[in-house]
Structure 1
């Protein structure tokens, strides 16, 4: 069994109203990750995800490209403590 890791990601740019949260939810779920995505500021999306390290790194790569209409200016991420608080990946509003 692989060890679980967690990441916190902030994505800045044109990420609202372009399907970014739905995109993130779909990709994270497909990768078997747990956690959430939510809008944090007018031009920011916050992601917290838990799962295996490879899947988390793949998610970061996907977040850096985003859905077709998004315009990503910056992606900041860091390893975080695993909480085990999540049973699935959710969109928080």
Structure 2
């Protein structure tokens, strides 16, 4: 029987009006509700980057949320890359640029 690991990693870069509109807060809340680990951070190019790990179905729900964003956001596009989970995260956090 094949070893089916339902845990995956998704890296998403969200483009549009996504900074200064509570995007990280809503992403953090959604990821926690879905039981995911990883992080969300504003990027210097005005995008928001998300790295999340967990159940593949939950990750698909997170990606669907990222296309909508927070109530004040205006998402233009979401670039998504899938990979195998690394297990490097113990929780989902908000990262801040230094």
TM exceeds 0.5?
yes
User: Could you tell me whether the CA contact under 8 Å between 2:7 and 2:84 is conserved in 1?
Assistant: no
Q: What is the SS of the residue equivalent to 1:49?
A: strand
TM-score normalised to structure 1 length = 0.94
Q: Superposition RMSD on alpha carbons, in Å?
A: 1.4
Match in the other structure for 1:79: 82
Choose between structure 1 and 2: higher strand proportion.
1
Task: Show structure 1 runs of 4+ deviating over 4 A.
Answer: none
CA distance in 1 between partners of 2:61 and 2:5 (Å): 16
Q: Which of 11, 23, 44 matches 1:41?
A: 44
Question: Rg: which structure is higher?
Answer: 2
The residue correspondences of 1:1-93 to structure 2 (distance < 5 A) are 3-93=6-96
CA distance in 2 between partners of 1:43 and 1:72 (Å): 12
Higher mean C-alpha deviation, range 78-87 or range 59-68: 78-87
Unaligned stretches of 5+ residues in structure 1: none
TM-score normalised to structure 2 length = 0.89
Aligned length: 93
Unaligned stretches of 5+ residues in structure 2: none
